[in-house]
Structure 1
Amino acid sequence: MKEEIQKWFKNFQERLCQSLEECDGIAKFQEDVWDRPGGGGGAARVIQNGAVFEKGGVNFSAVEGVLHERAAKALLMPDPHFFATGVSVVIHPENPHVPITHMNVRYFEAGNGEAWFGGGIDLTPIYVYEDQGKFFHQQLKDTCDRFQASYYPEFKQWADDYFYIPHREETRGIGGIFFDRLTPKENISLEDRFAFVQAVADTFAPTYTQIVNFNRDKPYSPQEKEWQLIRRGRYAEFNLVNDRGTKFGLETNGRTESILMSLPPLASWHYSHAPAVGTPEAKSLACFTKGIDWVNLHTAHG
């Protein structure tokens, strides 16, 4: 299936870039096509200094070759030959009231014939608006529920656990869904898994752009901008220290510029910083924890 999957992912990159350009209204994506020395390549698309998006990337890749022994061991692969394709997205808005977002969909095929999908969508607000958190998670749940009732609770928990910064004891944002190594099993074929991944991908643009439009015109102060830079610092910490995708890309001689596209253009680190009790910053920080039932938030948390 790899040719069909690769073709769909490339088309998805095209469609997503169009949606994000329309949402921004000014900036356009610039494309940088690259080749991987070990086999394959990709196209990095970057948007910068727009009406909404300060920096963002929508990257497509389709690479193949032989994994380094350490990487093959980490992926539990008896055969180091591989093929991998996918689309990865990170958006850093200018306005601190517009959340950072990340999504990716990917397909991996090992030399011994094993194949699986992975991916997910998560949201990293600087300022948390509970109704928007509920909307975001409801959209993801609706997509998951079209396929398996178990998907949303399982993948939501997986996102809570994955997008966690242990050295800060906080989550990167309000989570979303995350899944990996979705292989065929029982009555679920690889084609079924692919249909689910396609649906997740197509959920991203309408959901995120609606959240952007909720917030894009809100005024903000220098203090709110500084809080954004501090939270961007947390984002960078996770991506450099904890993110498996970053590590995999660097260990497999991926394109460094594309891999580190996820980092914000500006970020801040303040020594022993803690927001004052009762401030919007403190209230948002309290939401960066595991286990919040966003779909039923008003029922569960009043």
Structure 2
Amino acid sequence: MALTKEIISDWFQSLQSDICEAVEKEDGKGEFRTDQWEHANGGGGESRILLNGKVLEKAGVNFSAVEGDAPEALLTTLEVKKESDEQLRFFASGVSIVMHPKSPMVPIIHMNVRYFELSNGVYWFGGGIDLTPHIVDKTQAAYFHKQLKKVCDVHDQDYYPKFKKWADDYFFLPHRNETRGVGGIFFDRLKEDVSKSKEDIFEFVKGVGVVFAPTYTHLMHINKDQPFEEKHTQWQNLRRGRYVEFNLVWDRGTKFGLQTGGRTESILMSMPPVARWDYDYQLEEDFEKETAALLKKDVDWLGE
């Protein structure tokens, strides 16, 4: 059976359900409410939002499968050249996740897996998963990267080092000269070649999607009961501010959603409920200085 956009989209929707179920179970209180929506040009999606849980203050797991005429601005952004004057149509489907915990001891996490195709036959897969601790724990960062390397190595030994570097470069705030967190993996425009079929690439994307729930619920579990003070909460809100800066200034997904007439509430669900921007904030606490020193590219979290 040929791998169609419908098969891909159906799998993404099932992934959304599986992740929500696992996260609800670990949170122990919060429940995702479902918000279905339609895209102006075709298709739609389902946003699932959890608010004021026991562990998570705000979490979003979005599924979308949208289509429509591809505007020139989008083609320019994607660096796609038209070979004729024919109006191209696009189809895009995927799952996008951001989770903002209550406790500053529990890290923020983001994941996105997606598929895009044009009516002229051009297609690709993309995605990424990265961890943004408010206070970096090297052991937990190593655990996180180990899970991602396992997934990558099943499909290609070159994937992890290549996509880890890509994440370091992508999840970076040039205006701050710092990474968003401890990185992860990022990949884009993956398509079949002489060594891998479209089905092979989809299996890798599925592997990235499946690893999310066990990895993050483990981090929720081991951190949720750690004690913290007001100074940690203040730092959390400052780091959340950095998260906002990245998503609004640099994130491609935000720009893509807005350029294609996407649903604003779903696109901006990645914003934290509360954030701070203190003018000329100076690092004082040891935990602040230690974390700030690790927000850089090319850290070998696995110690290899």
TM-score range relative to shorter protein: over 0.9
In the alignment, does 2:268 pair up with 1:260?
Answer: yes
User: Within 5 A, what are the aligned runs for 1:202-221?
Assistant: 202-221=210-229
Question: What displacement does 1:114 show?
Answer: 1.3
**Which residue type is aligned with residue 222 of structure 1?**
E
User: For the residues of structure 2 that align with 1:263 and 1:84, how far apart are their CA atoms?
Assistant: 22
CA contact (8 A) 1:17 1:58 kept: yes
Aligned residues: 296
Match of 1:201 in 2: 209
User: For the residues of structure 2 that align with 1:77 and 1:37, how far apart are their CA atoms?
Assistant: 23
Question: What displacement does 1:78 show?
Answer: 3.3
Question: What displacement does 1:76 show?
Answer: 2.1
User: For the residues of structure 1 that align with 2:247 and 2:190, how far apart are their CA atoms?
Assistant: 23
Match of 2:43 in 1: 40
In the alignment, does 2:86 pair up with 1:78?
Answer: no
User: For the residues of structure 1 that align with 2:25 and 2:97, how far apart are their CA atoms?
Assistant: 16
Match of 2:18 in 1: 15
Question: What displacement does 1:212 show?
Answer: 1.1
Question: What displacement does 1:213 show?
Answer: 1.0
Match of 2:29 in 1: 26
Query: What SS does structure 2 have at the residue aligned with 1:146?
Result: helix
**Which residue type is aligned with residue 240 of structure 1?**
L
In the alignment, does 2:287 pair up with 1:284?
Answer: no
Question: What displacement does 1:229 show?
Answer: 0.1
TM-score w.r.t. length of structure 2: 0.96
Give structure 2 stretches of 5+ with no counterpart: 83-87
Question: What displacement does 1:269 show?
Answer: 0.4
Match of 1:247 in 2: 255
Q: Deviations over 1:208-230 (max 9, x none)?
A: 11111111001111110000000
**Which residue type is aligned with residue 4 of structure 1?**
I
Match of 1:141 in 2: 149
Query: What SS does structure 1 have at the residue aligned with 2:258?
Result: helix
Give structure 1 stretches of 5+ with no counterpart: none
Question: What displacement does 1:26 show?
Answer: 0.4
**Which residue type is aligned with residue 210 of structure 1?**
H
TM-score w.r.t. length of structure 1: 0.97
CA contact (8 A) 1:78 1:112 kept: no
Q: CA RMSD in A?
A: 0.9
Query: What SS does structure 1 have at the residue aligned with 2:155?
Result: coil
Question: What displacement does 1:77 show?
Answer: 2.3
Match of 1:120 in 2: 128
CA contact (8 A) 1:77 1:110 kept: no
User: For the residues of structure 2 that align with 1:104 and 1:154, how far apart are their CA atoms?
Assistant: 18
In the alignment, does 2:300 pair up with 1:293?
Answer: yes
